[in-house]
Amino acid sequence: MLEAASVSPNPFSDFVQIEFPAGTPADTEVVLTDVSGKIVLERSLSDAREHLPTANLPGGIYFLKIKSGDGERIWKLVKQ
């Protein structure tokens, strides 16, 4: 299921959108960290499409990790 997930836009500014075409897997969590590994956003996901607010983050490189019972997947994102 995580292979089908999409994260956009990249680069991002005010939000990051996560989409699961087949629905969100059970017990799915998302963690956004900055380049130093500091967690800047963490939440559970329940909808097939989620918007993560990012307007308050400074520009730079971030890593978005999605974890579920299916495993985990990481995206490298750039905040403008």
Q: Which domains does the chain have, with CATH numbers?
A: 2-79 (2.60.40.1220)
d(CA 35, CA 60): 8
Per-residue pLDDT at 23: 83
Per-residue pLDDT at 19: 95
Per-residue pLDDT at 9: 98
Per-residue pLDDT at 73: 95
Handedness of CA 10, 12, 16, 19 (dihedral sign): negative
pTM of the model: 0.92
Instruction: Identify the segments of the chain with pLDDT beneath 70.
Output: none
